[in-house]
Structure 1
C-alpha cells in the first residue's frame, strides 16, 4: 500500500526530532495533527512505527526499517529541491531566448549585447529567427515576438510597439523636389518607383483623419528588410518600412521620412513564454531588462527614431 510523500517526510522528521512535542514546536504544526497523521500512516501500513506515550518514544523494528529505507531518499529529495530553488533564484546558469532575427540584429542588438555584458554568469542561448518555433519543443525560456499570439497556450506581456512609415533616399528626394514631383499624398505614390517588403504587400496608412489602402506595384520586391532599407538608402525607390529598422540610415543622413504625417498600423511587441511555466530569475531579469531598455527607444514605442544633431 502506498504512503503519501508528505507522510513519509513527516515520519522522517519526527524520528529526527525525537518526540511529537519537539516536532510540533519546531515546525509550528499542532501536536494533534502530527499524532493523527502518524496514526493514519501506521494504519495504511498495518504496523506500529513508533511506540509512544507520555514517557516513551521509541522506534519499533518496523519503524527502524522504514526509517532506514526512506531517510536518505528524503535527504536526496530535499537537496535536489534546494538546488533547484537556488538555481531558479540565481542570476546564473542557462537561459534560452527566441527572438525575431530582424529585431535582434537591428534595434535590439545593443540591448542584448549589454545584457550579456551585465550578466556574464548567465549562459544566454539566442535562437534568432523570423519563423515561429515551438517554444516547448525547443525548451525556450522566453521569446520576443511581434503581434498578438494566437496560441492560447502562451503567456504574453507587452514590451513595446512598432509602426511603419514611408522613407525615401536623400538623393532621390532632392531630385524629385527639384522636378516638383515629390509626392504630397499617398495617392501620388503610384507614379514613383516603389520598393515592397514582401511582409507588407498592402500599404494601409492613416494621417489620423483619413485612411488609405494602397496595393503598390513594386519596382523591386524583397523578402529581407535590411535589403529593403539598403535599396531605399541607395535612392532606388520609396518604401513603407518599420521605424525600428531605419535609425542607422536616418542617422547617416541617407534617408528621410516621406509624408511623415501618414503612418502604417502599429503592432505590439510581446515577451512570450509557455502558459503555466514559472519563469526563472534569469528569464524574469531578461524580460524586465528588455522592457526597461525598450521604453527608452522611441522606435520601439511606435515613434520615429530620434536622430541626434538633426
Structure 2
C-alpha cells in the first residue's frame, strides 16, 4: 500500500529534529529504519533530498522544496481531520508569528482583539524581536520583515513602505545644538543597532545627491524601542521608522532632525510565509485579516 503521508511524516521529523537518531527517538523507530526509509524515498523520487555529514544534515534544493510542501500538506491534513471530528467547526490551530518589536507593538498587537473575535479557535504564538528569524529552523508561519528581502523560497505579501526619520529630544538639542547639515551628524551621539544585519551607515540626501555617512555613538541596541526610549531620555540622536517616531514627535518628546535629508530613506515591509497552494487555513486566515489592516496603518502614518 502507498504510504506517502507516512514518508512525509518521517522526512519532516528528520528535518526538524536535525538528525536521524533524534527523529527516530521521537518516532519510536530505530535510526537504521529511519535512514532506510529516507533512502527509499530518495530512490522513488529520483533525487537526493538530504546531504549527510558527521555533524549535521543539510537539505538540497529538492529537499527544501519537498520539506515545504510536505509540511504544508501535513498541516492541511491535520486541520481537515480536526474539522471533520468537530463537525466542520471553524478554522483553528496555532499560527506562529514573528515581527520587529516596534512594528509588532504598533501595528500588529492592536489588531489581535478583533482577530480573536473573528477567529476564536486560532491561537497566535507571537514573538517580537528585531533579530531575523529563520522560518525553517524556528517553525514560524508568518514573519513580518522590514527592509530588503533576501533570495529565498518564501512567499511574500507586501504590507507597505515606511520612511525613516532622524530625531532627538528637546533636551539633547538644547545641550548640543540642532544639526544644520548632514555633515554635522559626525559630531553628535548617533544611536545604533548591534545585530549583524545592521550597520552604522545612514543614507542622507544633500541637495540632489545621496551620501552614506558612517556614524557612531554611545549606545548599540538590538531593538528600536530601546533606541527610541534613549532618544527621548536625551542620550543621543536616533534614526528610526515613522511608526517609532510619530507618537513621541506629536507629544513633543522628540524633534525631527534634518527632515529634508531623509525624504528618500525608506524601507519596505512584507509578510513572509511558506508556499501558497497548500497554505494552511489558519495561516491564510491570519494573512487575509492582518495584511490589509497593517497596510491601512502604514497608509495613515
| TM-score normalised by length of structure 2 | 0.62
1:166 positional shift: 0.8
| Residue equivalent to 1:188 | 184
CA–CA distance in structure 2, aligned partners of residues 258 and 81 of structure 1? 51
1:1-310 superposed matches below 5 A: 83=81, 90-174=90-174, 181-198=177-194, 199-206=198-205, 209-263=208-262, 265-275=265-275, 278-297=278-297, 300=298, 305=301
5+ residue gaps, structure 2, are: 3-76
Larger Rg over CA atoms:
1
1:215 positional shift: 0.9
1:134 positional shift: 3.7
| Residue equivalent to 2:37 | none
- Specify the SS of the correspondent of 2:185: helix
Query: Once superposed, which parts of structure 1, at least 4 consecutive aligned residues long, lie more than 4 Å away?
Result: 79-82, 84-89
Contact residue 217 and residue 236 of structure 2 kept, 8 A? no
5+ residue gaps, structure 1, are: 4-78, 306-310
148 and 221 in structure 1: CA distance in 2 versus 1, 3 angstrom threshold: closer
CA–CA distance in structure 2, aligned partners of residues 152 and 235 of structure 1? 40
195 and 125 in structure 1: CA distance in 2 versus 1, 3 angstrom threshold: closer
Question: Which structure has the highest helix share of the two?
Answer: 2
Report Cα offsets for 1:152-194 as digits up to 9, x if no partner: 3211111122331110102333556xxxx42221112223332
In the comparison of the two structures, how many residue pairs are matched? 223
RMSD (Å) for aligned C-alpha atoms: 3.4
Contact residue 163 and residue 242 of structure 2 kept, 8 A? yes
1:255 positional shift: 0.4
